[in-house]
Structure 1
């Protein structure tokens, strides 16, 4: 009887030892899931997106610009650029035509290259320097304002021939600038061509007049000696 009690007490002690609380705790620790590593990072990214979206909405129609800053020009910008190019080209042509008429006969010299191959340079003429110093004087002048081309050229031929026959050194031919002419500066170009071609037997050289004598609206003609 005493032996059976001892065996029963031993079995209860062994069972109590097997039901240790550490065994249950070990299972709980092994089954705990790991915390997500990107939770905070994703939250930060979402906050950034929310801030940027709020800013864009607050400024109305604003749009993002590409990183390199390059954007295709809109239709209105392209149209304005094209119109500006057309205006610039038209203005350039108008200035060129006006300059051709105003330059007049600035550079003809007997025996020298044709005016198309020579840049206007009044100071290169010794006669022009003498004119400025007063060594050579302009003796007479012919005003062709208001005359048609053919009539003006006839008057020019008679004037040059008469002046040379009388031994004059220099004369002034006033053509005007032709700015108000509906056909442009026709007369200055026609007079210039006549002096260079038909009048070359009587004309030594001719230049656009100094400013105090009419500037680009007049021509100083130096005559050959007889």
Structure 2
């Protein structure tokens, strides 16, 4: 009887259950680890998907711009190129600066000398206005003529009617007044396809130290 009880105890269902759990526990742990890994991947994928349209916040609290659309990127590139060209041309002094647009002398200024040119009369009345000016003071002849060429071509391309080129009178130049003659010669010869007339500027615009350039229509 004692032996039978011992056999029953040894064949106890609790022991069988314990042995079964022990045998299956490694596979269950592996399955649990795989399940945990899958859950981690699902959580990570869900997080990345939820953040795909977000804008990153910089360390200083400013928002960094997200990915640009092709249209926005193209517009930014055009703006950057235009801005870069303007800065370059301004840096080398090739862009004329706006001047007084009425073309009429103020109360303390002398009236310009009379001219037989119809365009000069229109300039005095304000029908034609000087839109931009180029100051060539202090430049050597070759450099000045390069700047003059660009300035004239740019004004002509934009349909301007009249511009002012300031040459100075050349009194302080060691070679005498070389620049005024060189500028006038370039405008009459190389610039003839763009230039309609040139005249010495009125006194209020610089007199003999400046040239009014009337441009042809395109």
TM-score normalised by L of structure 2: 0.48
Choose between structure 1 and 2 for higher RCO, CA contacts under 8 A separated by at least 6 residues. 1
TM-score normalised by L of structure 1: 0.46
Between Structure 1 and Structure 2, whose CA radius of gyration is higher?
Answer: 1
